[in-house]
Amino acid sequence: MAGIHEECGLFGIYSPSVRELAPVVYAGLYALQHRGQDSCGIAVSGEGGITLRKDLGLTGEVFTPETLSKLGRGRIAAGHVRYGASNKNDRENAQPILTKHPACTLAACHNGSLVNGDELRRVLENDNAIFHTASDAEIISYIITRHCAKGKTKEEAVLRATDSLEGAFSLILLFSDRLIAVRDKRGFRPLCYGITQSGEYIVASESCALDQVGAKFIRDIKPGEVVIFGETGVKSLFSEKRAMSSPCVFEYIYFARPDSVIDGYGVQQARIKAGELLAAEHPCDADVVIGVPDSGIDAAVGFSKAAKIPYGIGFIKNKYTGRAFIEPETKLREQIIKIKLNPVAETVRGKRVVMIDDSIIRGTTSARIINLLRESGAREIHVRITSPPFIYPCFYGTDIDSRENLIANNHSIDELCQIIGADSLGFLSVKSLPLLFGSQKTICSACFDGDYPTKTPVLK
């Protein structure tokens, strides 16, 4: 497994005409900012080759009208926003990763994590490869360029490379003359594409980014599919190593924006359904239902409707803070929790409150939020979680790479309830997860049940 486990956002564009594309990518990355707030980057393929700018910070901090203009004109561009879920949060690990080789030059954007990344890195290093980053994107780029050096076309090189990769990888690959989008054979991470009125093809991690730039959604890229956008239009290829699709259920529970649709299922509707299922599995007497922003809001609406308990706005969120559970430093997480949420006292004072949240990872966030509600006068606090307890690490791109820091792995639900200071605690059951989609959809829920769809590294 690679040293960095990250949840990221990808955006790419192929244009029939030469123009300034960086502002379009910038707008798309803004729509995907929830997927990565540590670093970002944009690459543009123009007459002078591939021009790249990337740095630490939010999209609006890294890019100004001047820096966007300096990226120049072209027909192809790609961008990336990143969460660095380790202390290796430096500029070199920001993406796109630019790889220059006589056989082919490309800029790679990656979302996910390779379970055989360390193995592939060792093989390449033993063959004299020199790595400059800890990113899986660089590993993938090296494998592609080596196939190109052996005389394979770019499409063949990408297909052969994907056959050697195991784990989660949604990719946007920018070459001098084409844009290639790839989704791993299990479809762990989302990827879709659309088209603008002017005929520009847009590829993005989520459909909300297509909406942002005025593109009409065409379809999701299928698991195991390689889609090429070039002079001759759109071409689709598939890896020979096909497997059953198993997208990450946590995309619907937490990561994705509620206005996105992934693989035909609306994220908002999945969260509302989670709330309804929670109300059936863990009913309680209460006066008001509130949701922890942002992913708990829709679930709270669903719980309220099913339980026939009034819904109320329980928190005002400072939207300029990061997502606390992904922050790598404990002290930083605690500081963010203190400033990101402010309870609405009028909603909770003197009342029995049902608080809906998406997960409990380490427990510190939940304990702090519950304490805020107590300080605001809540009489009882009944916590309901729209996911099952996290008891296994994730190897597919989420910052949960060890059982050691998973509080539910070390404590019973009753003990958890006492630790976070709730009056009662209920989690959505594993068996209910497929019902979020209205059918028995095949999903990856390995972080809840340990049923990994691929081989895994040695568990810590």
* DSSP per-residue codes, 395-434: -SSSS---GGG-HHHHS-HHHHHHHHT-SEEEE--GGGGG
Please state the length of the chain.
460
Tell me if residue 8 is catalytic.
yes
Q: Which residues of 281-314 are buried (b: 16+ CB within 10 A; e: fewer)?
A: ebbbebbbbbbbbbbbbbbbbbbbebbebebbeb
The CA–CA distances, whole Å, from 238 to 93, 224, 229, 248, 292 equal 29, 6, 15, 21, 41
Of the candidates 8, 40, 148, 248, the residue annotated as catalytic is 8
> Which runs of consecutive H residues, i.e. helices, occur in 223-375?
250, 267-281, 295-307, 330-340, 345-348, 364-375
**CA dihedral sign of residues 80, 85, 88, 89:** positive
Residue 219 and residue 264 in contact, taking contact as beta carbons nearer than 8 Å: no
* DSSP per-residue codes, 318-361: -TTS--GGG-SSHHHHHHHHHHHEEE-HHHHTTSEEEEEES--S
Q: How far apart are CA 356 and CA 318, in angstroms?
A: 18
Residue 148 and residue 101 in contact, taking contact as beta carbons nearer than 8 Å: yes
The CA–CA distances, whole Å, from 321 to 118, 180, 354 equal 33, 33, 25
Residues noted as catalytic: 8
